[in-house]
A = this chain, B = another copy of it.
């Protein structure tokens, strides 16, 4: 399997090495072969090529079986004009590879729950998956422009029925493999696009009789994630709602540095990256938490390579390293041992 590595910026450059180490260990254990190729994206690409997404990066990703991304962004590029900002690289690669399905599993680690802003009795047992549409909606709709000599502005929230169908199918399928419940989030009391969304979900229901479904308005969902996160199994929603709700959900369990994500194309090719950012404040110090990157690698094995056992082994390894008390500086574990990126990775390997 051929994997393209996109370290990106900040701690992305550090944690990407952890992914490689873990994959090499998996290769040895299971007799697989992984080949790697590294390319630039984000700020690093702006510096080197004058664009956050060089053609060479897109081409390499197009030939890959899967892509691992570290993180993009940093203060150096914060005041750039928008086409020269690191996150344009991210948006561009999502669209270029047609990565329409963003999956974010959010599950607490029992020895880290104490760091949650929520009361333990509220957050305990929460285990949810957000399935976010990633290549449509307000992110890519046109027109998106100034008008009337700059006196007004429009953005467009556009979806085709097909785009909605494929992501809703993903949501149902994910629910089938989990606890069998799907929550579709929309704003059907206001938006036409949400009405079509809700219609599609209703139509698809009969194809997935083993999945129970409910519809929740996005404002109510933002409340329920906090008051009762354990009520959710799989949430499926459009791009911008997914952006907001998945970030909201990511802080519930108190361990943002542990959360992986997968962005998938229909044929199984995918891009995998930590939920956390490039953390410029701690970059270059060797103290970044590699777990989100490593768990993203586990998702790659599972979703792009159908290597379920291999993915599970990585997840179990992470859990047992935590159980043994090892943790990076972003976490606290009572009577635990504080280690850096390299040592945390070594223990997991």
Q: Are A139 and B240 interface neighbours, CB within 8 A?
A: no
Interface string of A240-272 (1 = CB under 8 A from B): 110111111011100000000000000000000
Any chain B CB within 8 A of the CB of A1?
no
- Closest CB in chain B relative to A34 CB, distance in Å: 32
Q: Are A247 and B227 interface neighbours, CB within 8 A?
A: no
Beta-carbon nearest neighbor of A242 in chain B: B219
- Closest CB in chain B relative to A230 CB, distance in Å: 11
Interface string of A282-313 (1 = CB under 8 A from B): 00000000000000000000000000000000
Interface of chain A: mostly helix, strand, loop or mixed:
helix
Q: Are B152 and A161 interface neighbours, CB within 8 A?
A: yes
State the CA gap A312–B310 with chains docked (Å). Answer: 63
Q: Which of B87, B155, B222 contacts A247 (CB 8 A)?
A: B222
Chain B residues with CB under 8 A of A195:
82, 153
Q: Which of B85, B152, B248, B252 contacts A160 (CB 8 A)?
A: B152
| 20 further A-B pairs in the complex, CB-CB below 8 A; given A153-B158, A187-B240 | A117-B119, A117-B226, A118-B226, A138-B191, A144-B192, A152-B158, A152-B160, A152-B161, A154-B156, A155-B192, A156-B156, A156-B157, A157-B157, A222-B245, A222-B247, A223-B250, A223-B251, A226-B226, A226-B251, A248-B248
User: Which A positions have Cβ atoms within 8 angstroms of B?
Assistant: 82, 85, 87, 91, 116-119, 122, 138-139, 141, 144-146, 148, 150-162, 187, 189-193, 195-196, 218-220, 222-223, 225-227, 240-241, 243-248, 250-252
A-B pairs with beta carbons under 8 Å apart, 18 shown:
A117-B118, A117-B227, A138-B157, A138-B191, A139-B190, A141-B154, A150-B161, A153-B193, A153-B195, A155-B156, A155-B192, A218-B243, A219-B246, A223-B247, A223-B250, A225-B248, A226-B251, A226-B252
